[in-house]
């Protein structure tokens, strides 16, 4: 039996509005490599399963399970994967042509890399496209490269996207997969953890597009995000398996990433009413927060309970009324 080159894993939960588009973006890829598409239905209550079963392609694998969250769905996909490499994509996003060909080819040519990411374009209603990292765009001409210092790259540019990364399957499985107990930032945690197993590559081309929020926001996506934020961990819990693998050489640069992640977690604590925990974490990790407006305000406000609570109430009000 011939080895499959790539397993594409798609967690599916009530994904009817954009599922067909996502699947089409995969099946129209121009590539020399073989692939399978594993769809893990995570307890959908709409017609997602019927849409999948109606597809004519024979390289589709459908697994159905009770709702357990995106991390559990991705882990199940990795368990089922037969490909040499594995990639994730959400059912409401899509890949541009070239994603499979270029990411698989990169990993074939760079055996010391455990993963490779591509540029991402995010589109939201009423706003110009946002590119990640900021130095790429639709016309980028840069060549692919191996990231020399993953932690510094993350801190200065951006976190690899869950749907813009292809991984070696053996490493993905050996690492133990994503943490099921994290219902928010589980992707951040996994990429940081995975990066301790080897080098990371980057292809500076926009091969992944995220615009599903335009539709899902109308379906109460903001409310769901807040519910997920209620389950955000503190930093010690977040990094408990990462910190064990950080070498003395990497420790200094890891602090930069810790600051970026902790800012995200503190914001989650604040918008869900856990003001005291948010302030405690800001006092501990705020020195390394990104220098954006909210990070700066948090560092100013954290020194007294009164100023912190004023900022926290303002941020929480803004989140619930956006």
Parent domain of 23: 4-219
Cβ-contact 155, 257 below 8 angstroms? yes
Neighbouring CB atoms inside 10 A of 171's CB total 16
DSSP letter assigned to residue 34: -
Residue 218: its pLDDT value, please? 45
In terms of domains, do 209 and 249 share one? no
pTM: 0.90
In terms of domains, do 75 and 176 share one? yes
In terms of domains, do 145 and 213 share one? yes
E strand or H helix at 114: strand 113-122
Estimate the crossing angle of helix 275-285 against helix 305-320, to 10 degrees: 110
Residue 213: its pLDDT value, please? 60
In terms of domains, do 214 and 225 share one? no
The two three-digit tokens of residue 138, written as one number: 């639709």
Residue 165: its pLDDT value, please? 98
DSSP letter assigned to residue 7: E
In terms of domains, do 50 and 176 share one? yes
In terms of domains, do 230 and 192 share one? no
The two three-digit tokens of residue 53, written as one number: 């079963």
In terms of domains, do 265 and 171 share one? no
Domains of the chain: total = 2
In the numeric block, the tokens 């130095």 are attached to 135
The two three-digit tokens of residue 43, written as one number: 């307890």
- Boundary (domain end) residue, out of 167, 184, 219: 219
In terms of domains, do 8 and 143 share one? yes
- Boundary (domain end) residue, out of 179, 200, 219: 219
Mind listing the pLDDT tens digit of every residue in the chain (322 residues)? 678 999 999 999 999 999 999 999 999 999 999 999 999 999 999 999 999 999 999 999 999 999 998 999 999 999 999 999 999 999 999 999 999 999 999 999 999 999 999 999 999 877 889 999 889 988 888 899 999 999 999 988 888 889 999 999 999 999 999 998 888 889 999 999 999 999 999 999 999 999 866 555 544 555 666 777 788 999 999 999 999 999 988 899 999 999 999 999 999 999 999 999 999 999 999 999 999 999 999 999 999 999 999 999 999 999 888 7
Residue 55: its pLDDT value, please? 98
In terms of domains, do 175 and 144 share one? yes
In terms of domains, do 22 and 129 share one? yes
Q: Are strands 113-122 and 165-168 parallel, antiparallel or unpaired?
A: antiparallel
Q: How many CA atoms lie less than 13 Å away from 29 in the CB half-sphere?
A: 26
In terms of domains, do 231 and 182 share one? no
In terms of domains, do 196 and 236 share one? no
- Boundary (domain end) residue, out of 199, 219, 239: 219
* CATH code for position 42: 3.90.550.10
SS (H, E, C) 194-260: HHCCCEEEEEEEEEEEECCHHHHHHHCHHHHHHHHHCCCCCHHHHCCCCHHHCCHHHHHHHHHHHHH
């Amino acid at each position: 039996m011939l080895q499959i080159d790539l397993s594409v894993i798609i967690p599916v939960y009530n994904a009817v509005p954009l599922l067909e588009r996502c699947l089409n973006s995969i099946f129209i890829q121009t590539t020399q490599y073989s692939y399978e598409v594993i769809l893990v239905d995570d307890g959908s209550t709409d017609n997602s399963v019927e849409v999948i079963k109606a597809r004519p392609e024979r390289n589709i694998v459908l697994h159905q399970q009770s709702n357990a969250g995106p991390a559990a769905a991705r882990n199940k996909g990795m368990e089922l994967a037969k490909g040499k490499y594995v990639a994730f994509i959400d059912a409401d996003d899509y890949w541009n042509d070239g994603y499979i060909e270029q990411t698989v080819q990169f990993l074939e040519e760079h055996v010391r890399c455990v993963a490779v990411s591509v540029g991402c374009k995010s589109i939201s209603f009423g706003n110009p496209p946002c590119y990640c990292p900021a130095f790429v765009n639709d016309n980028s001409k840069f060549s692919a490269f191996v990231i020399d210092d993953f932690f510094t790259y993350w801190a200065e540019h951006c976190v690899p996207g869950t749907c813009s990364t292809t991984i070696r399957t053996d490493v993905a499985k050996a690492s133990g997969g994503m943490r099921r107990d994290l219902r928010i930032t589980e992707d951040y945690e996994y990429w940081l953890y995975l990066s301790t197993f080897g080098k990371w590559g980057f292809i500076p081309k926009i091969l992944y597009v995220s615009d599903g929020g335009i539709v899902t926001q109308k379906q109460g996506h903001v409310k769901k995000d807040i519910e997920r934020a209620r389950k955000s961990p503190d930093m010690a819990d977040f990094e408990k398996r990462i910190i064990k693998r950080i070498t003395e050489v990497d420790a200094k640069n890891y602090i930069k990433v810790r600051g970026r992640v902790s800012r995200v977690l503190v914001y989650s604590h604040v918008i869900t009413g856990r003001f005291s925990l948010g302030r405690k974490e800001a006092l501990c990790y705020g020195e390394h927060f990104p220098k954006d407006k909210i990070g700066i305000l948090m560092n100013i406000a954290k020194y007294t309970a009164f100023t912190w609570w004023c900022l926290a109430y303002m941020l929480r009000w803004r989140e619930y009324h956006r």
